Structure 1
Amino acid sequence: MAKHMHFHREIDELKKTILTMGTLVEDRLRRACAILETRDRDQVQAIMAEDWEVDDMEIRVEEECLKILALHQPVARDLRLIVSIIKINNELERIADIAVNIAKRISTIMATATADFSLRHDYQPMAAKVMEMVKASLDALVTEDAALARTIFLMDDQVNGLRDVAYKTVIEEIGHRPDNAASLINAYLIARHLERIGDRAINIAEEVIYLVEGEIVRSSEDPV
């Protein structure tokens, strides 16, 4: 009985840690998306400097999962929970890394663009949709809501459409402003980074469905 109670205390602590990590990653992503408009150099540097926090938390979560697997050998739903958390842990760390990449792209644009350069494309709708996907995926994890997780697959089509618009805009701008070609390519890569964050949210949603229903699901696009 004591071992059983200890196991469930460890599971509860593990859940709290992965949710704390999710909150940290959401904040990192929100700040990275904000500097698309503000071009705040201090925020760019802060996001890059704080990357270690998420990396450290990812290691802690993985170590705790492996310890629980080794000591308690969980089965059935408890085993699905541990497996799902291991995978979601990795996805969250990758989202944080991509947020750092967005900050780096903006820093490069600010360093290399001509004085009159401005982004013609508005990235905020795409950023907002991606942040909505990440939030929904974490909400689905908290509430263990497979139906909510499935709604994230539909949001991905909108993100892909916005990425295509960004691509067309950048191609047109390069034709008009070849002197800013490097900055414009970095601008398009911001759209690609946002798209990949959406893919990570889909992967989290798939793990929530597996946790709740025991079914391995892959979206039609099968994100990488």
Structure 2
Amino acid sequence: MPDKHLSRQFDADLTLLSTRLLEMGGLVESQIVHAIEALNTFDPHLIERVLEAERRLNVMEMELDEEITNVIARRQPAARDLRLLMAASKCVTNLERAGDEARKIVKRTGRIATASSAPNINITEIKVSGEMALNVLRRALDAFARMDTAAADQIIRDDEAIDNEFRAFVRKLVTYMMENPRGISTGLDYLFIAKAIERIGDHATNIAEAVVYVVRGTDIRHEHRKQREREALHS
């Protein structure tokens, strides 16, 4: 990830941070995989695995935050090195929040599993958006590891597809709940699950934006959202 520096120890520090960050990303990926599988199977063991991973994730977040702070204090980096460390800190935060969303998914899944009667709701859009969110997170982590701005740009553009699946499911869910009032409680659980998946996609997009920030020195966090709003106004 980092360029070579005169200080070998600085290189070692950055390499270690990169390794730990990607390890954290791998843990979040496994959380999402298990959360989506639990949504399909209602397996209580998978639910517990996600919750246990979330506890480990919180510890990793605190450890990585401390490591980043220590590197900044010791090395007093400037320019791209400072941007890299700031971006790494933001990525840690986004990974922890993505893990929180996986926890929300299995919590709601557990509620649905214990409901007295499970309504017949087609959740195809949730499953599709779940796979899309997992894919975009993997790509975002790979883009961060390689500082690949072309891949990051594509991820940012692809985020709209997950949002579209979410909106399609919400429309279908609202219709279902209007026609089946007894299924409103479970319908709301599925709505929160769909929203959690959408937020995972948002956190992956934030990581991609961090890549652009490191390489180009440009903060684009709100640019593509404003572009969408302009396009919507003229469509």
CA contact (8 A) 1:39 1:106 kept: yes
Partner of 1:121: 123
In structure 2, do the counterparts of structure 1 residues 194 and 113 end up closer, same or farther at CA, with 3 Å as the change threshold?
farther
1:54-69 alignment, distance < 5 Å: 54-69=57-72
Q: 5+ residue gaps in structure 2?
A: 1-5, 227-235
Residue type of the partner of 2:121? L
1:8 equivalenced with 2:11 (yes/no): yes
Secondary structure of the residue that 2:225 maps to in structure 1? Answer: coil
Partner of 1:145: 148
- Corresponding residue for 2:28? 25
Deviation for aligned residue 1:112 = 2.3
The answer as to whether partners of 1:121 and 1:169 remain within 8 angstroms in 2 is no
- What amino acid is the match of 2:225? E
Structure 1 unaligned segments of length 5 or more: list them.
Answer: none
Residue among 222, 225, 235 paired with 1:221:
225
Structure 1 outlier segments of 4+, above 4 Å: none
Q: CA deviation at 1:113?
A: 4.6
Equivalent residue of 2:158, what SS? Answer: helix
Cα distance in 2 between the residues matched to 1:129 and 1:73: 39
Q: Deviations over 1:93-116 (max 9, x none)?
A: 00001000000011111122515x
Q: Distance in 2 between matches of 1:190 and 1:79?
A: 36
Q: How far 1:130 moved relative to its partner?
A: 0.9
Partner of 1:104: 107
TM-score, L = length of structure 2:
0.89
Deviation of 1:121 (Å): 2.3
Conserved 8 A contact 2:34-2:49: no
User: Is 1:160 matched up with 2:163?
Assistant: yes
Paired residues in the alignment total 219
Partner of 2:233: none
| TM-score for both structures, normalised by structure 1 | 0.93
Alignment match of 2:176 (pick from 169, 173, 176) = 173
Give, as a single letter, the amino acid of the residue that structure 2 aligns with 1:4.
Answer: S
Return the alpha-carbon distance in structure 2 between the equivalents of residues 12 and 121 of structure 1: 41
Letter aligned with residue 119 of structure 1:
I
